[in-house]
Each structure stands twice: as C-alpha cells, then as structure tokens.
C-alpha cells in the first residue's frame, strides 16, 4: 500500500463563475489554473512518484500533465477518480442551486441524497474510496502515487478513510489545486496533509524572498 497524493484540479472558468461543471467535457484550465498546475508540480518535486493517475475530465488531465512531465511519467486516466454525477444540476450556478429545495439537504443531511438523474453520495464515496484502495494496493509501502480528482470526491474519500459520518463531509474544505496526502495500508489510513495550497506558498515566497 502506498502514499496517495490527492490533488484537486486547478482553476477553470466554471469554478471562477461558481458554476457546477460536473462531468461536462471541454472544461479547460484558464491561465490562472495553468499556473496553479505548474505550482503543484514544483511543490511535489523531490517526492519519488511512481505513477500519476487522473480523472478523465480535461481540467483534471491538464492539472496532472505538468506533474507527470516533471517526473517523466505518463498520465493514467482512471474513471474511478471522475467527478460526481450531478445529473440535472450539472452546468448550473451555485447561486441558482442554493434556492432549490434539495440544497439544504445537501448541506445538512446529504447521506441519502441522490442528485436529480445523477448518483448518490454513498455511490460516489464507494467508487472513489475503492478506486484509491485498488490504486494503492498495486504499489509498495514506500511508494508515492498522485491522483488528480475533484473537490467532492476528495472530501468523500477523506471522510471515508477517517471514519467520519458521510453527513459531515461538507465540513472539509478542498481548494483548487490543493494537495491532500493519505497513507493507506490494509488495516488503516493516515491523513498526513489536508488541503495544502501550493499557489499560496509560491506567492508567499515571491513576496518574502
């Protein structure tokens, strides 16, 4: 079992406009997002990565690419890392969705919620956690693997491995291009880093040094 570096994809125009991209294709990183992806790659230099996996959506693949190139590795698309299927919510603004009856349920009692014509959070949590277990089990205990995914799948995975009730997963924050590190073995899981922001660190270095 390996160290798993969970990376949320970087900024795109949907995230800037607070619009739910979901599984829409052709959502690409904007200029800020490309800079964030490079900052992630720089931050993780020196970590002996054995593999770089990614959600098959463009914004995740584009975030993974600089990291893979720095380590002379291919980007391996993995369907288990894909965004939640938000169904009819996909493409709509968060402001619009916040006025719907289901929004309060998502915030305070999400465990049994199914997105309209989409998947439940239980289904999504099972998918992401099992995918990470499978990926980790293919590597040795001192290996490191990167997995680029999306905010809610990463939050659901962390909640699962820490034993948090699913209804509390919204208490976790996973920012754009952030880094979260888990160590997974057969018996337990350890959270080593949560929501580390390399762009903020790069900005701080520029202003201080």
Assigned token pair, 78:
């993995």
Give the Cα separation of 65 and 75 in Å (integer).
Answer: 6
What are phi and psi for residue 208, nearest 5 degrees? -100, -40
pLDDT in tens for each of the 209 residues of the chain? 789 999 999 999 998 788 899 999 989 999 999 999 999 999 999 899 999 999 999 999 999 999 999 999 999 999 999 999 999 999 999 999 989 888 888 888 888 889 999 999 999 999 999 999 999 999 998 899 999 999 999 999 999 999 999 999 999 999 999 999 999 887 789 999 999 998 765 554 454 43
Tell me what percent of the chain is helix, strand and coil, each rounded to the nearest 5: 45, 20, 35
CB neighbour list of residue 188: distance below 8 Å, 6 or more residues apart: none
Angle between helix 198-208 and helix 31-43 axes, rounded to 10 deg: 80
Residue spans of the domains in the chain: they are 3-208
The rounded distance, in Å, linking the Cα atoms of 7 and 177 is: 6
pLDDT at residue 17, rounded to an integer: 81
Q: Tell me, what's the pLDDT at 209?
A: 38
Q: Classify domain 3-208 at the CATH superfamily level.
A: Phosphoglycerate mutase-like (3.40.50.1240)
Q: Where are the alpha helices (DSSP H) in the chain?
A: 13-16, 31-43, 58-70, 94-97, 101-108, 121-137, 151-162, 198-208
For 81, the 3-state DSSP assignment is helix
């Amino acid at each position: 079992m390996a160290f798993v570096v969970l990376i949320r994809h970087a900024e795109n125009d949907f995230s800037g406009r607070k619009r739910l991209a979901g599984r829409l294709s052709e959502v690409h990183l904007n200029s800020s997002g490309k800079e964030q992806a490079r900052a992630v790659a720089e931050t993780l230099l020196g970590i002996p990565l054995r593999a770089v996996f990614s959600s098959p959506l463009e914004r995740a693949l584009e975030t993974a690419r600089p990291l893979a190139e720095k380590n002379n590795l291919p980007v391996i698309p993995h369907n288990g890392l894909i965004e939640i299927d938000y169904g009819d919510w996909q493409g709509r603004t968060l402001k619009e969705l916040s006025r719907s009856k289901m929004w309060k349920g998502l915030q305070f009692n999400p465990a049994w919620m199914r997105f309209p014509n989409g998947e439940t959070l239980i289904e999504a949590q099972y998918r992401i956690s099992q995918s990470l277990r499978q990926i980790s089990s293919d590597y040795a205990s001192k290996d490191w693997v990167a997995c680029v995914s999306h905010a809610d799948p990463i939050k659901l995975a962390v909640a699962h491995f820490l034993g948090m009730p699913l209804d509390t997963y919204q208490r976790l924050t996973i920012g754009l291009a952030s880094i979260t590190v888990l160590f997974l073995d057969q018996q337990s899981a350890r959270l080593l880093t949560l929501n580390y922001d390399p762009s903020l660190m790069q900005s701080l270095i520029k202003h201080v040094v």
